[in-house]
Amino acid sequence: MSESILKVRGLTKTFKVPANAAGKNQLRALDGIDLDLARGETLGLVGESGCGKSTLARTLMMLERPDSGSVTWDGVDPFSLKGKDLLALRRRVQMVFQDPYASLNSRMSAADIIAEPWRTHKMMYKTSRDRAARVRELLHLVGLRPSDEHRYPQEFSGGQRQRLGIARALALNPSVVICDEPVSALDLSVQAQVLNLLNDLQKQLGISYVFISHDLSVVRHVADRVAVMYLGRIVETGATDAVFDRPAHPYTEALMSAAPKLDAASRGKRIILDGEVPSPLNPPSGCRFRTRCAHATDICASTVPPAAVDERESGHVAECHHLRRPIELGVPVAVG
| pLDDT score, position 270 | 74
Name the strand (E) or helix (H) holding 72. strand 68-73
Instruction: Kindly tell me if the per-residue pLDDT of 43 is higher than 90.
Output: yes
Instruction: Kindly tell me if the per-residue pLDDT of 331 is higher than 60.
Output: no
- SS3 of 150, please? helix
Within 10 angstroms of residue 204's Cβ, the number of other Cβ atoms is 9
How many CA atoms within 13 Å lie on the side-chain side of 271? 17
Residue 213 CA: distances (Å) to CA of 85, 192, 227, 298: 31, 14, 11, 33
**Strand 176-180, strand 208-212: pairing:** parallel
| pLDDT score, position 308 | 81
Task: List, for residues 277-298, the tens digit of each pLDDT value.
Answer: 888 888 999 999 999 998 899 9
- SS3 of 46, please? strand
| N residues, the chain | 336
Task: List, for residues 118-155, the tens digit of each pLDDT value.
Answer: 988 887 776 888 999 999 999 999 999 999 999 999 99
Instruction: Kindly tell me if the per-residue pLDDT of 273 is higher than 60.
Output: yes
The model carries a pTM of 0.89
Task: List, for residues 68-98, the tens digit of each pLDDT value.
Answer: 999 999 999 999 999 999 999 999 999 999 8
Within 10 angstroms of residue 223's Cβ, the number of other Cβ atoms is 23
**What is the arrangement of strands in the sheet containing 4-16, beginning at the earlier edge strand?**
26-38, 4-16, 68-73
Report the distance separating Cα 282 and Cα 24, nearest Å: 7
Query: Which is more confidently placed, 50 or 144?
Result: 144
Name the strand (E) or helix (H) holding 85. helix 83-90
Q: Is the dihedral of CA 12, 68, 97, 210 positive or negative?
A: negative
Instruction: Kindly tell me if the per-residue pLDDT of 334 is higher than 50.
Output: no
Task: List, for residues 193-223, the tens digit of each pLDDT value.
Answer: 999 999 999 999 999 999 999 899 999 999 9
In which band, very low, low, confident or very high, does the pLDDT at 25 lie, cut at 50, 70 and 90?
Answer: confident
228: left (phi over 0), alpha (psi -120 to 50) or beta: beta
Report the distance separating Cα 119 and Cα 100, nearest Å: 21
Instruction: Kindly tell me if the per-residue pLDDT of 329 is higher than 70.
Output: no
Instruction: Kindly tell me if the per-residue pLDDT of 170 is higher than 90.
Output: yes
| pLDDT score, position 332 | 40
Decide: 11 and 70 in contact? Cβ < 8 Å: yes
